[in-house]
Amino acid sequence: MSNLKIRKAAGVEADEFETNVAQELLNLEMTSTELKASLRDLYITAAKEVDVGGDRKAMILYVPYKLLKSYNKIHQRLVRELEKKFSGRHVLIVAQRTILGKSYARSHKTTGLRPRSRTLTAVQDAILEDIVYPTEITGKRVRCKVDGKRILKVYLDSKDQANVEGRTETFAAVYTKLTNKQVTFIFN
């Protein structure tokens, strides 16, 4: 029954962790009155557990890009419920996106360049926005250190500081895990 809430590519089986997450989504749909109608048509494509440091873990739920807007409507309620179920782990919802390489060539029927939304930098920027979702990003700066390291400073909207301040370490760890880029979050 939990297979309704997770859809993998053909021939790929869901692991135990993904099955547990899918089962919890199904349980939420069955029991929660406020989320029941919203969760009916929603599903995930994958789930990952990431070490944040200090014996803490975060869960990343990958959802189809087309369903991201629907997930964003119920984001805060869904994350709150899932964090209760999974004993205080931070839950992040990220859209499943495709990166096309520089050598991408279209089929013979259509011509043109690769879409900007499929470039590496566009996908990484979109992942950053997904990770910090209820909060808006007000600015970004790249700091290049003398030793060659690049650190991305992300300025978040200060109106959400009370809600998000405890999660910024999680955001940074997950973004680093997904993109191999160092990031720090600052409120302004």
Average pLDDT value for residue range 40-56: 86
pLDDT at residue 184 greater than cutoff 90 = yes
- What residue has token string 């003398």? 146
Supply the pTM of this predicted model.
0.86
Please, which pLDDT band fits residue 21 given cuts at 50, 70 and 90? confident
Give the pLDDT confidence score for residue 99 in this predicted structure.
87
Per-residue model confidence as pLDDT tens digits over 103-134: 777 776 667 778 888 899 999 999 999 999 88
- For the chain, give the mean pLDDT: 87
Per-residue model confidence as pLDDT tens digits over 60-112: 999 999 989 988 888 888 888 888 888 878 999 999 998 888 877 777 666 77
Give the pLDDT confidence score for residue 173 in this predicted structure.
93
Average pLDDT value for residue range 49-60: 88
Q: What is the largest CA-CA distance in the chain?
A: 55
Interstrand relation of 182-187 and 150-156 (parallel, antiparallel or unpaired):
parallel
- What residue has token string 């390291």? 149
DSSP line for 3-63:
GGGB-PSTT----HHHHHHHHHHHHHHHH-TTTHHHHTT--BSEEEEEEEETTEEEEEEEE
